[in-house]
Amino acid sequence: MLGVAVPSLKAGGGRVAVGGRRRPLARGREGAVRASCPHLPGRSCWRPRVPPRRPRDMPEEAGFPPAKRFRPGSGPPSRAGSFRPGGRVVMLLTPGSGGKGGGGRRQQPPLVQPSVSPYPEAVELQRRSLPIFQARGQLLAQLRNLDCAVLIGETGSGKTTQIPQYLYEAGISRQGIIAVTQPRRVAAISLATRVSDEKRTVLGKLVGYTVRFDDVTSEDTKIKFLTDGMLLREAISDSMLRKYSCVILDEAHERTIHTDVLFGVVKTAQKKRKELGKLPLKVIVMSATMDVDLFSQYFNGAPVLYLEGRQHPIQVFYTKQPQHDYLHAALVSVFQIHQEAPSSQDILVFLTGQEEIEAMSKTCRDIAKHLPDGCPSMVVLPLYASLPYAQQLRVFQGAPKGYRKVIISTNIAETSITITGIKYVVDTGMVKAKKYNPDSGLEVLAVQRVSKTQAWQRTGRAGREDSGICYRLYTEEEFEKFEKMTMPEIQRCNLASVMLQLLAMKVPNVLTFDFMSKPSPDHIQAAIAQLDLLGALEHKEDQLTLTPIGRKMAAFPLEPKFAKTILLSPKFHCTEEILTIVSLLSVDSVLHNPPSRREEVQGVRKKFISSEGDHITLLNIYRTFKNTGGNKEWCKENFVNSKNMTLVTEVRAQLRDICLKKQMSMPILSSRGDMESIRRCLAHSLFMSTAELQPDGTYATTDTHQPVAIHPSSVLFHCKPACVVYTELLHTNKCYMRDLCVVDAEWLYEAAPEYFRRKLRTAKS
DNA sequence: GAGCACTGC
């Protein structure tokens, strides 16, 4: 496999060395402090040695470029472009401390590298030694008078830990809490822990956090870290966000669907509070160096403040020719680096998915066994989200002396997991991502090119502690053709949940809601149609509002169709069972399927399988898990992912609590072994996701007659039931139905006679 | 007939 086509790499645009500890400061506009930014011109070529055809032929000295043979050129989108003409700009230099680390979730520690907690005195000293501290007064003077500000700061600028404290110390929180949102729960927890330490307080008092299943706040809490989704949920019961004096939207450049909706929510809340003469709401958008103009424009030309962080220089190489086989190119690159670089320098490779990663890991291990003497040994570590937790943790352990760590990862290592010690990044430029087609309403999961932003994010993983090197397995010309930024999530997903939430907040017109990046009208319309089918909407005088059912649906942290399933379940006397099934469907699969132990898995799983489909099978697994005391040992023996199973238990408890609330008035009954009523309940709520067996033995969806197939992971894979409901359609090579339940066609017509009459009519014409 | 990026409430 090795040595067929060699990717030859050439030096190209390198990341600008934005850092340096302290570079001379120059006076900028309006007296702001501005740092000079070196651009190193020129470029040169680098040709790696041809790798050997077979491992045992590997030459002992494969050439690797000495650093002087290349020079970094243009870097990521320059900060010059970040400035709005006439905008007030503050620039600072900060070393990279005060970052994210440490902390602990109660049920399970977050997947971050443990950090040693310094002594309290040292913490305060360290805080004061941050250059951001020198600009504290200037920064506060600006922020104090602004309703809105956009704050640009690179990784390690310390903005997320320091700014909330500055605002607190300036008394901003006297009339309301300072909220800091994060896209990920681990980040919210570890940041709260860090800031609480810095303030020398007990976590949950002055500084706290709120994430799903875990609220560590009290009446004393003035600085609150929370996930963006959590603040959005709070906005349902209080759209003016009255508790808060300031909302900081951090990591805004990631453009998660929740942050995007929050942009509109805080903007509306701010305006409303102003109109009503209430306490003003301060909004601070924090981001890496992207999309500044967009943020600033959206918030009525809010000033942009710039914080410079410490970023070690990273050299970037592109291939000379396009690579048709990026896997092969990655393999070659890894072994070229491996033969040249000291073994203490680790390599991070970005691939697209589990299968690819496992295959590549195996190949690397095989090749590494046959390397010549004198070549370092290699520890190959796969990394992806569905990998069991214990195995994920291994990427943080140091390799034994003389061993090099090679981490082969999905985009999970782009943002979610930070690994120290990475010197080399190998970027294939590919990612597996969901695309949404509003015409068909289908989500397609496909391997595609990364965006420029994403490529720079990957590159940045090489320069966390020291200078680094990034090999891009595509040409510079190809890179120039990449999309500038990843399409915001809100333009790529089904919007039913978002629309339900906006309606629950009583947004006057969801069709014209002020999104920063508007989803297409078709896209919004599709979501409205879906909610309408579920009986959530009322049309009154051109105004869309929620029905009582719709309001109840919004109370569940679930996809609308699953919320509806729960709400229908009392009618079928099976709420106990439906709560379990919905919980199982709303987390990652509890089934662990290591490909190497397939037969073993099949043997063990047999006892749970129900001919009625996946939902009932999952229910059987959950019940046995509970009846046997639900321990880890059982999980291991039965190839069940215990982490996800624990999560199912938590979700179920939360959903049950919601059902028991007064306004829900839901009896929680069990069907007592009557599986048919459970299937009827599923048929009544998922009637728009059904497929029927065709005369030729294939399946087609009932509504649009789209050809579909049973996913190989389904217990019904080898069966041919006449009619099924499914919970998800997944487009990969084919259009697959996942999580199926056998139903009676008659139940469907019974559930939605009008819908099916209409569908039949359109089918005939 | 043969397969699943990543978050989050």
Q: Do A711 and A756 fall within a single domain?
A: yes
Nearest residue to B2 via alpha carbon and C1': A712
Task: For chain A, give the longest Cα–Cα distance.
Answer: 81
pLDDT of residue A113: 42
- What Å value separates CA A415 and C1' B7? 10
Q: Which residue has the higher pLDDT, A66 or A431?
A: A431
Q: Inform me whether the pLDDT recorded for A90 exceeds 60.
A: no
**pLDDT for A21:** 28
Q: What is the pLDDT of residue A329?
A: 95
| Predicted confidence (pLDDT) at residue A307 exceeds the cutoff of 90 | no
A225 belongs to a structural domain: yes
Domain count, chain A: 4
What CA–CA distances, in Å, run from A388 to A384, A584, A590? 9, 17, 11
- Contacts for A293 with CB less than 8 Å, ≥ 6 apart: A84
Task: Give, in Å, how far the C1' of B3 lies from the CA of A355.
Answer: 9
pLDDT of res. A123: 77
* Residue A536 near residue A549, CB atoms below 8 Å: yes
Same domain, residue pair A344 and A421: yes
pLDDT at A75: 46
Strands A207-211 and A223-227: parallel
Question: Are A436 and A301 contained in the same domain?
Answer: no
Do A278 and A149 share a domain, yes or no? yes
Asked if the structure places residue A316 within a domain, the reply is: yes
Q: Name the burial class of residue A4, with classes exposed (0-12), middle (13-18) and buried (19+) by CB atoms within 10 angstroms of its CB.
A: exposed
Q: Which of the pair, A601 or A547, is modelled with greater confidence? A: A547
**Which has more pLDDT, A17 or A554?**
A554
Find the CATH number of the domain harbouring A423.
3.40.50.300
In a domain, A610, yes or no: no
Whether the per-residue pLDDT at A338 is higher than 60: the answer is: yes
Q: Same structural domain for residues A469 and A502?
A: no
Residue A302 has a pLDDT of 95
pLDDT, position A466: 87
- Interatomic separation, CA of residue A681 and C1' of nucleotide B3, rounded (Å): 29
pLDDT of amino acid A483: 92
- At A379 the pLDDT is 95
% chain A with pLDDT above 90? 62
Tokens 């030729």 sit at which residue? A696
* Confidence check: pLDDT of A105 > 80: no
pLDDT tens, position by position, A184-239: 999 999 999 999 999 999 999 999 999 999 999 999 999 999 999 999 999 999 99
Residues A155, A55 share a domain = no
Nearest nucleotide (CA of A651 to C1'): B9
Residue A522 (CA) to nucleotide B5 (C1'), in angstroms, measures: 25
Residue nearest to nucleotide B5 (CA to C1'): A432
How far is residue A237 CA from its own chain's centroid? 25
CA of A110: nucleotide with nearest C1': B7
Q: Which residue is nearest to nucleotide B8 (CA to C1')?
A: A229
Per the CB < 8 A criterion, the answer to whether A18 and A291 are in contact is no
The per-residue pLDDT for A8 is: 35
With a CB cutoff of 8 Å and minimum separation 6, the contacts of A223 are A164, A165, A168, A173, A177, A178, A180, A192, A195, A206, A207, A208
Measured CA to C1', what is the nucleotide nearest A213?
B9
Rounded to an integer, what distance in angstroms lies between the CA atom of residue A426 and that of residue A404?
15
Helix (H) or strand (E) segment spanning residue A304: strand A304-307
Residue A384 lies in a domain: yes
Q: What's the whole-number mean pLDDT along residues A617-628?
A: 94
C1'-nearest nucleotide to the CA of A184:
B7
Are A50 and A113 members of one domain?
A: no
| A661 found inside a domain | no
The answer to which of A499-503, A519-523, A609-613 has the lowest mean pLDDT is A519-523
Whose CA is nearest the C1' atom of nucleotide B7?
A: A184
CA nearest to nucleotide B9 C1': residue: A557
Given a cut of 50, whether residue A67 has pLDDT beyond it is no
The Å distance, CA of A188 to C1' of B8, is 12
Please check whether residues A751 and A726 belong to one and the same domain.
Answer: yes
Which nt has its C1' nearest the CA of A709? B1
Q: What does the pLDDT look like over A688-728, one tens digit per residue?
A: 999 999 999 999 999 888 899 999 889 999 999 999 999 99
pLDDT score, position A762: 67
Residue A68 belongs to what domain range?
9-76+311-481
**pLDDT of residue A574 exceeding 80:** yes
Claim to verify: residue A31 and residue A44 sit in the same structural domain: yes
Residue A563 covered by a domain: no
pLDDT level of residue A87 (50, 70, 90 thresholds): very low
Q: Tell me whether residue A146 is exposed, middle or buried, using C-beta atoms within 10 angstroms of its C-beta: 0 to 12, 13 to 18, 19 or more.
A: middle
The answer to whether residue A617 is domain-embedded is: no
Beta strands in A678-734 (DSSP E): 690-693, 699-701, 707-710, 723-731
How much is the pLDDT for A103? 33
Do A167 and A303 share a domain, yes or no? yes
Least confident segment among A11-15, A282-286, A716-720: A11-15
Q: Which nucleotides of B are covered by protein (CB under 7 A)?
A: 1-9
Looking at the C1' of nucleotide B6, which residue has the nearest alpha carbon?
A412
Predicted confidence (pLDDT) at residue A324 exceeds the cutoff of 70:
yes
Domain for residue A177, yes or no?
yes
What distance in Å separates the CA atoms of residue A50 and residue A43, rounded to the nearest whole number?
22
Q: A244 near A228, Cβ under 8 Å?
A: no
Tens of pLDDT, residues A465-487: 889 999 999 999 999 999 988 88
How far apart are alpha carbons A427 and A592 in whole angstroms? Answer: 28
Q: Stretch A556-575: mean pLDDT, rounded? A: 96
Nucleotide nearest to A211 (CA to C1'): B9
- pLDDT of A119: 64
Does the pLDDT value for residue A506 go beyond 50?
Answer: yes
Same domain? For A407 and A544 the reply is no
Look at residues A537, A554, A571 and tell me which one is the last residue of a structural domain: A554
Q: Of A260, A275, A307, at which residue does a domain stop?
A: A307
Of the candidates A452, A481, A510, which is a domain's last residue? A481
Spatial separation of the C-alpha atoms in residues A210 and A181, rounded to whole Å: 10
For all residues of chain A together, what is the average pLDDT? 82
Nearest to A455 by CA among A475, A430, A422, A434: A430
3-state secondary structure of A462: coil
Q: What's the CATH code of the domain at A536?
A: 1.10.10.10
pLDDT at A373 over 90: no
A69 has pLDDT over 80: no
d(CA A124, CA A169): 14
Q: CA at A550, C1' at B8: how many angstroms apart? A: 21
A453/A405 same-domain check: yes
Which nt has its C1' nearest the CA of A353? B5
Residue A125: the pLDDT is 80
